[in-house]
Structure 1
């Protein structure tokens, strides 16, 4: 098999668009082991229930270890049957000794093996993503707490809007990461499930024992048992994919914020520096946002795969043609790319250099126009909001036209001075004087984060 085609497995790109822990959850050995875990658990349960001889469970479990199998040999045979389960079951049967070999895969079908193996992998993958998000959220919490009173420009339509504080931006990241963790928890609880239905979902091959085997098999594997087999009802897969797509999307958004704040003209934050990191092949002075760029690149690829999962929900009758098979590539890549979108952001946020002095300097770029709403709201109770808006609109236009600071224009305005003296006007131009409930919002985000993590520990 040729290496280096897909980004997540490329020797050249894999360190960018892969995550070692997540890759270990979804590599070929892990895929094989998930399926073998199903076969071993099935044999043990059926042995206990007396459906098959009691010695079979132990005999199958002893051989159900991925390192005993030749992955290349199995892979070469996959095209003949159209899925991994067929050659794997044959290989497992050949390894189980004696009469026990005749009871391997008893009453099961290929999709039972593949889907349940996938669910075991997804459970492990969700745990990896959750741990990464907890670490990322912890870094965001540190920033939110440290920069409660670090004023900066709040931007609307990419333009200077009003003053805010960097701690609130970080708190917004934190709050969203917390929700993503909660969503993963919900997916783990509601979307993971055993798949075991036999040929068309009736388990007819097990006669009266089908439901009992199914229930105990779910317990053996630690997976929920749904009321019916779900061969072609793939909303479970889409729910998992949707949660990962949302994670990837938010990683792209946070990375995008950092990229914009790192622009030369802005210069309000910088990724942590390291020898050889962020340089240019031709411009020696460059300090590129490589971590954020990598996160965005992985996120875009992950979102594409998450979106594609919606296209495979229309599956035919009891067994699908094409849609199910498409999941085998889409879902593992989605997990790996989502993890790859989180990983660089952890390093970026944990080591983020915040330039508070540049943030404050940028507040003055508009010569005070960023405080126009603050002055308007100060005047509104005295002259009405519409009149105050008209006064500030005119003052702002004059400030721009004549290159004056808004404060100077207002100080000369008879309409304004009739209600505000010079000291009152000057006081309005304190950035921290017009950040509203930012401190409350930050504290609420931090408290929710702390209580959620305390629940984890509990």
Structure 2
């Protein structure tokens, strides 16, 4: 990553899949393989101990490893050479002939990817849980806070800020559940050997795999998955779906924070006072407070669909070992998790300090001069004039309401077709027209839906118990 990429992501993202993490994960694979094979009697116990000790104390030269893999096409060859040198330096050179027994490059790299993904999933889920909790609180606190719903970026009807937050909340909760469920199977050991049948370990292969999986804290699959990537990629694709949900939240928040709308605003960033400048400031315009967290989330999510498409495109592995497809997968897999973690962290930060201006939300509703209540106004008017006539009058008077800044119910009450009604019917209709624009009444359906969603998830925000 260059400096621009680093500036868009939290510092914690940088170490998730870095060279140090990869090297350590591959060494952990070799150590566990040797220990498991020793426990099954396939290699001497002292050789396994020497290999484990060498792996524990070795710091691999990541650049040399990469250069050698680029030349030979297989990372296990230089890896084995480096561990062998470490064994020789420790006076345990004889143990080297038992190193990497029955395994292949894909076993090492796939398992290393699994170990790094498990490590990356923990902070991702933690940030996601924080974002979920923040949204739940917003939804509970603002179930009946009226705001404009907007369709095709235009004012539509009245909804509630709570329902909007609950709508963002649900897909995050679903991804949280599914990521954990998919991880149970996907975070599995890879050990297949040359063609996936563990032939070099004979009948002990399955037992070695089970022991290795236990040592590494991974699932033990029935066999190798080196060319069957469906379970593995489902985990990655769920992360990509999460990115889409996060991008939607970021875009909505950014739009609502525009000065012309001004219904929400990001709060101060971490350590803003110490930095001596406002978060989201401009080099040219001192007044600006840009929605930086939303920007970071949107930018982090932007590459994810392309990465997901690449992962799907790599599934057509040739025969028993892919020629380029697997290599392309492992090259982009880390970036997926880094981007999604970055987006999750940014959304959490945006929500953590979010300022909600309920009065501005009500003001923006008022600036529509009653047009957002057109559906309920039509229903009230239709009882006296019929549906077609009611719709025609509202369509005719709507532009006048906006042009003269006169509430639409007032124009309707003074309209000739209403004034022509018998006094009793006219008075009842005029009362109904004003009632149709009552905000508490207008927000009720959204509040009910919001509270229902929260209650169905096992938490009734109106129940103090």
**Is TM > 0.5 for Structure 1 vs Structure 2?**
yes
What is residue 173 of structure 2 aligned with on the other side?
178
| Equivalent of 1:105 in 100, 105, 114 | 100
Cα distance in 1, alignment partners of residues 334 and 404 from structure 2: 60
Q: Which moves more between the two structures, 208-217 or 40-49?
A: 208-217
Q: How does 1:302-381 map to 2 (within 5 A)?
A: 302-379=304-381
Tell me the SS of whatever aligns to 1:197.
coil
Cα distance in 1, alignment partners of residues 416 and 458 from structure 2: 51
What is residue 67 of structure 2 aligned with on the other side?
76
What is residue 422 of structure 1 aligned with on the other side?
430
Q: Which moves more between the two structures, 297-306 or 219-228?
A: 219-228
1:17 aligns with 2:25: no
TM-superposed CA distance for 1:190, in Å, is: 3.0
Ranges of 4+ aligned residues in structure 1 off by more than 4 Å: 379-388, 400-403, 414-417, 448-452
1:150 aligns with 2:150: no
- Note closer, same or farther for the CA distance 1:388–1:214 as it changes in structure 2 (3 Å cut): same
What is residue 221 of structure 1 aligned with on the other side?
216
| Equivalent of 1:444 in 448, 452, 455 | 452
- Note closer, same or farther for the CA distance 1:122–1:154 as it changes in structure 2 (3 Å cut): same
TM-superposed CA distance for 1:451, in Å, is: 5.8
Tell me the SS of whatever aligns to 2:103.
coil
What is residue 3 of structure 1 aligned with on the other side?
none
- Asked whether the equivalents of residues 163 and 432 of structure 1 are also in contact (C-alpha less than 8 Å), the reply is no
Cα distance in 1, alignment partners of residues 399 and 343 from structure 2: 44
| Equivalent of 1:265 in 260, 264, 272 | 260
Tell me the SS of whatever aligns to 1:404.
coil
Q: Which moves more between the two structures, 290-299 or 379-388?
A: 379-388
**RMSD over equivalenced CA pairs, Å:** 2.3
Cα distance in 1, alignment partners of residues 57 and 15 from structure 2: 13
What is residue 188 of structure 2 aligned with on the other side?
193
Cα distance in 2, alignment partners of residues 88 and 180 from structure 1: 36
- Note closer, same or farther for the CA distance 1:194–1:387 as it changes in structure 2 (3 Å cut): farther
Cα distance in 1, alignment partners of residues 354 and 174 from structure 2: 23
Deviations 1:319-354 (A, max 9, x none): 011111112321111111111112122111110111
Cα distance in 1, alignment partners of residues 119 and 388 from structure 2: 58
TM-superposed CA distance for 1:92, in Å, is: 1.2
- Asked whether the equivalents of residues 380 and 429 of structure 2 are also in contact (C-alpha less than 8 Å), the reply is no
Deviations 1:161-218 (A, max 9, x none): 1111111111111212111101211221232222111101121111222222223322
1:64 aligns with 2:59: no
Extract unaligned runs of 5+ from structure 1.
1-5, 453-458
Aligned length: 443
TM-score when normalising by structure 2: 0.89
Cα distance in 1, alignment partners of residues 384 and 193 from structure 2: 77
Q: Which moves more between the two structures, 53-62 or 332-341?
A: 53-62
Cα distance in 2, alignment partners of residues 282 and 306 from structure 1: 38
- Note closer, same or farther for the CA distance 1:383–1:123 as it changes in structure 2 (3 Å cut): farther
Q: Which moves more between the two structures, 234-243 or 65-74?
A: 65-74
Tell me the SS of whatever aligns to 1:13.
helix
Cα distance in 2, alignment partners of residues 22 and 221 from structure 1: 23
Tell me the SS of whatever aligns to 2:366.
coil
TM-superposed CA distance for 1:383, in Å, is: 6.4
TM-superposed CA distance for 1:60, in Å, is: 1.7
Extract unaligned runs of 5+ from structure 2.
461-465
Cα distance in 2, alignment partners of residues 185 and 352 from structure 1: 28
- Asked whether the equivalents of residues 133 and 177 of structure 1 are also in contact (C-alpha less than 8 Å), the reply is yes
Tell me the SS of whatever aligns to 1:26.
coil
Cα distance in 1, alignment partners of residues 29 and 18 from structure 2: 17
Q: Which moves more between the two structures, 80-89 or 264-273?
A: 80-89
- Note closer, same or farther for the CA distance 1:380–1:45 as it changes in structure 2 (3 Å cut): farther
1:168 aligns with 2:176: no
What is residue 123 of structure 1 aligned with on the other side?
118
TM-superposed CA distance for 1:424, in Å, is: 3.0
Q: Which moves more between the two structures, 303-312 or 71-80?
A: 71-80
What is residue 406 of structure 2 aligned with on the other side?
404
